[in-house]
């Protein structure tokens, strides 16, 4: 999939679901900007006009306008590519979630058995 992502200029993800599509981090890992629906999950990975472009759900006119911008504003694609940060690995994301959950358990101190020690 990485080779396919590297061969395209931008990936459009016009999802109507509250979703965390794995195709978005795959595109970002290949340094391919993403146009995505401005919904939770997707807008947590895409910063509008930094590493991609967001548009409202069901708004095909806004999606069309974003595509037109990419064609007319020659530097926009370069700007979006420059804004892509390294993608977290599965191991990094897992460690962050475990730290978050451990903090919640330890912070509330309401009788939960701690099965994970927070990293120091």
Domains of the chain with CATH codes: 2-82 (3.40.50.2000), 88-120 (no CATH)
Q: In the prediction, which pLDDT does 116 show? A: 47
Question: pLDDT tens for residues 62-80?
Answer: 999 999 999 999 999 999 9
In this prediction the pTM is 0.77
Distance CA 52, CA 99 (A): 29
Distance CA 58, CA 103 (A): 38
Q: In the prediction, which pLDDT does 97 show? A: 83
pLDDT per position in the chain (120 positions), as tens? 888 888 999 999 999 988 788 899 999 999 999 999 999 989 999 999 999 999 999 999 999 999 999 999 999 999 999 999 999 888 988 888 888 888 787 775 444 444 444 555
The number of beta carbons lying within 10 Å of the beta carbon of residue 24 is 24
């Amino acid at each position: 999939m990485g080779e396919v992502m590297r061969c395209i200029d931008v990936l459009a993800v016009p999802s109507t679901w509250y979703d965390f599509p794995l195709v978005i981090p795959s595109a970002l890992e290949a340094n391919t900007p993403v146009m995505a629906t401005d919904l939770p999950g997707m807008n947590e990975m895409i910063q509008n006009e930094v590493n991609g472009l967001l548009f409202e759900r069901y708004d095909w006119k806004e999606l069309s306008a974003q595509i037109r911008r990419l064609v007319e504003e020659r530097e926009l694609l370069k700007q979006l590519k420059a804004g892509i940060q390294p993608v977290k690995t599965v191991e990094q994301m897992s460690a962050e979630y475990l730290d978050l959950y451990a903090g919640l358990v330890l912070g509330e101190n309401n009788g939960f058995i701690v099965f994970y020690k927070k990293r120091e």
